[in-house]
Amino acid sequence: MANDFVNRMLGKESFAKGAYSPVVDPRMGQQMGFMPNFRELPSNTPYTRKSMIPILVQHPLFMDYIDGGQLMIETLKVLVEEHPLSIEGINLTITPDFAETPVGGGGQKLRIIQNMTQAESTPSFSYQEKYGKVITRFFTYWQRTAMMNPETKFPEILHMAISDMPEEILENFMSMSMLFIEPDPTHRYVVEAALLSNMMPSSGIPREMVRNLPDGDQALTLSMEFTSVTESTAAVFEFAQEVLNSISLTGVSPNNRPAAFDSIHANVEAANRGYKKSIEEAGSNQVGLQA
């Protein structure tokens, strides 16, 4: 059997110079020409998008001025990194816009680039609400305390007796910053990276009550959208690679984690019934086996 001795990767050349993740050489592996080339099938390996990794970079600074602020920071970290059912709306698309002029009378047009724009990210986090509506309480507190009370039109933190309040309230007082990383299949290299600042909860949080006995109780899934300003530059990719380097999967196997239980509860063990007890009773009541 022949060995695959071919270097199928492009390397950091030309348009791939800024890539942190290895990329295949597109000059190899093409299978849609005159006929397939089965010896180059590995070079035709398709890209599949891995789930991105959300990393909280900077908390809203108002949390540094309130009682329980560290608890809020810790809660925010797990709410944005580990609780979301899904995260969508991180958009790095750039779109060209063209000026055009007619070419003859047949309807043809000559176009020339006149503008290039980057799509605005609209991050959306989906949650399954937890017991006591703790997620609703957290985001409502954030909006009212750091952003604005609906009646006074001032953030409620101004109404609190805080002696070391800052002289100014800038956008980072009420907003967080996050890094989003898409890793490659080896979890070692960055494929995509985005640094989002100015992230504030911009959705209205549903706080409704209903009574419908035939339908029974209802679970609550909420979607929280955030404002944002997006960066995705060489410096952001370098930062993302440094963060990813610090997250090692070595030795972290779900197969080796502790079981949810490693002993039988004392009250269950004390019950004078069950599989083990029936065997013990059967063994003690055997006929003709006693010495």
Enclosing H/E stretch for 195:
strand 190-199
> For residue 1, is pLDDT > 50?
no
Over residues 272-288, the pLDDT tens digits come to 889 988 988 888 888 76
| CA dist., res. 69 & res. 90, Å (int) | 28
| CA dist., res. 139 & res. 207, Å (int) | 12
> For residue 228, is pLDDT > 80?
yes
| CA dist., res. 48 & res. 183, Å (int) | 11
State the pLDDT at residue 282: 86
Task: Lowest mean pLDDT of 7-16, 59-68, 99-108, name the range.
Answer: 7-16
- The mean pLDDT of 185-209, rounded to a whole number, is 92
Amino acid sitting at position 10: L
> Are the C-beta atoms of residues 59 and 76 closer than 8 Å to each other?
yes
Phi, psi (deg, nearest 5) at residue 275: -60, -50
Helices (H), 18-157: 69-81, 134-142
Annotate 237-278 with DSSP letters as a single string: HHHHHHHHHT---TT--GGGSPPS-SS--HHHHTSS-SHHHH
208 pLDDT band, cuts 50/70/90, is confident
DSSP 8-state symbol, 198: E
State the pLDDT at residue 2: 52
> For residue 42, is pLDDT > 80?
yes
State the pLDDT at residue 4: 64
Cα–Cα nearest to 130, from 206, 223, 219: 219
> Are the C-beta atoms of residues 58 and 43 closer than 8 Å to each other?
no
